[in-house]
Structure 1
Amino acid sequence: MYYQLIIKDYIKSRPDIDMKIMLSTGNPNDVNIYLENNPDQMKFFLLDIEFPNSKIKGIDLATKIRKNDLDAKIVFVTTHEELMPMIFERKVEPLDYISKEKGISVIKRKLYTDLDITVERLVKPENTRLKEFSFRIGSKQYNFDIDQINYFESLEHTTNVFLHAVNQNIEFPDTLKAISHKVPYFYRAHKSLLINPNNTQSINKKERKIYFKDGSSCDISRRRLVDFSREHPNLIKK
């Protein structure tokens, strides 16, 4: 609870940065589920080495996080300093390792520093957002105005993606994961869909659909619908 309050205070102190606590839990299985459903989000993890009433250890969870996300920032807060060598053996590469015995004021100071580093390394300033999305098909290059793109759709059993733009669709070789690094402000509406929030017109919760300004639409998963509706309550269709 203390750590969650510290992070909330940090977020309040940085209103210029789009940050939020997505998950706070004592159950490592919840983290596994979150990882599976949010593979492309930029992430900061605060973990303990031990989880009460669970066979899964924090070091195991960190190993899985690092395997799936080379950019994730991982910080351990724990009393088990004797397990530090195991962290290096597993090649987890944590951002920090904070002892609970140092006291809450030291923990807060170190967490603020760790969060500053995370923001500096992961969060792109607003003015660096792409104006154009470019890709190649063979020797030909295509350039699309970001504001004209509604969403990207991955194609099953292929390494191709469909770009759905205003009045135009085009297929090209790429993956949603790679695209999400270029346009991190796009939202993962489904495991196969990456949408442009700036082009959304409304949300139909009953149909579980996102409607865009040009009248087109796409599906959104039940889980993502809850989060997206919470973030954009003004779009909900009554």
Structure 2
Amino acid sequence: MFHIYLCEDNLQQLNTYKQIVNNQILIFEYEAQIVQATDNPLDIITATRMNNERGGLYLIDIELNGQKERGLNLAAGIRSLDVLAKIIFITTHSEMSFLTFERKVEPFDYILKDRGIESVKKQLEEDLRLVWKRRNTIGEKMKTLFTYQIGNRIRRIPMNDLLFIETSSVPHRLILHALHRVIEFNGNLTEIGKNYPKLFRCHKCFLINPENIVSLNTKERTVEFANHNKCDVSSRKIRELKKMLS
């Protein structure tokens, strides 16, 4: 699900942007939703922190509640939390566009309100279509990569290198075993399984890549990989895994 956030202190304009976005979602059947629409930047930051998915779309006014650079400060905060965020400024302050480069917030677009609502609507609709198109293109490429996050850094490895992921003795920590390295990161096996359907949950503690299995021992209920690591397989998963490998 693609998450969209709006921050605008003019209630009428906020509702207009919501309508434009929701109409585009309905017309083009985007798997997207507005998760926060507010005049309070803290609400946006809180919602971003609570959302595990990265790469959201943020529509922000630069001047909020009489504070001329509050939207810029919000964008900087978003960028520190979501390095993949798409940030669109909708503002009357054309003279402040250079500050977005100084603050290194990397805006996707800079829409000027004083050109009229029809111009804003047209530009916003074009941006939504382009963001969605690029998201789908990246999504196809990402199917061949496994993405994980350590701190604020997004990292990726080829799916072909991934052997298995196991739970750690530390709560909410996972251990990824690849062909030539072992990586620890925060995560949840169930969520990863949903996002990467090619991986197989062979045991409550293991999520494996069937393409890298060297052998399956049905008597010992284990699978072995090219680096000689082994994973347990639960008794109720043996038949399904055996069928998958045949």
TM-score (norm 2): 0.55
Higher CA-based Rg: 2
Q: CA deviation digits over 1:67-106, x for unaligned, max 9? A: 2222111000011112111111001110110110111111
Aligned counterpart in structure 2 of residue 80 of structure 1, from 55, 80, 93: 93
Aligned equivalent of 1:18: 31
Q: Deviations over 1:162-195 (max 9, x none)?
A: 9xxxxxxxx9744439x97996589xxxxxxxxx
Q: What do residues 129-173 of structure 1 show as CA deviations (whole Å, max 9, x unaligned)?
A: 959989x9xxx95369xxxxxxx96764785349xxxxxxxx974
- 1:115 corresponds to: 128
Q: 1:126 to 1:88 in 2, by over 3 A?
A: closer
Identify if the C-alpha distance between structure 1 residues 175 and 86 changes in structure 2 by more than 3 Å, giving closer, same or farther.
same
Pairwise CA RMSD of aligned residues?
Answer: 4.3
Q: How far has the Cα of 1:35 moved from its partner?
A: 1.4
**Correspondence for 2:233:** none
Identity %: 30
Match of 1:29? 42
2: CA distance between counterparts of 1:154 and 1:83?
Answer: 48
State the match for 1:47 in structure 2.
Answer: 60
Which residue in the other structure is 1:5 paired with?
Answer: 19
* Aligned residue among 163, 167, 185 for 1:142: 163
Indicate conservation of the 8 Å contact 2:173/2:185, yes or no.
yes
CA distance in 1, matches of 2:167, 2:103: 35
Greater strand fraction, Structure 1 or Structure 2: 2
TM-score (norm 1): 0.56
Aligned residue-pair number? 168
CA distance in 1, matches of 2:92, 2:196: 37
Runs of 5+ in structure 2 lacking a partner? 1-14, 148-156, 177-181, 198-235, 237-246
Alignment equivalent of 2:108, drawn from 95, 120, 123: 95
Deviation, structure 1 residue 124: 6.0
Q: Once the 2 structures are TM-superposed, how far is the Cα of residue 45 of structure 1 from its aligned partner? A: 0.3
Partner of 2:117: 104
Contact 1:41-1:184 within 8 A present in 2 as well: no
- The DSSP-based 3-state class of the residue aligned with 2:32 is coil
Quote the Cα distance in structure 1 between the aligned partners of 2:76 and 2:117. 27
CA displacement 1:37-61 (0-9 Å, x = unmatched)? 1142430000000111669700001
Q: Distance in 2 between matches of 1:48 and 1:141?
A: 42
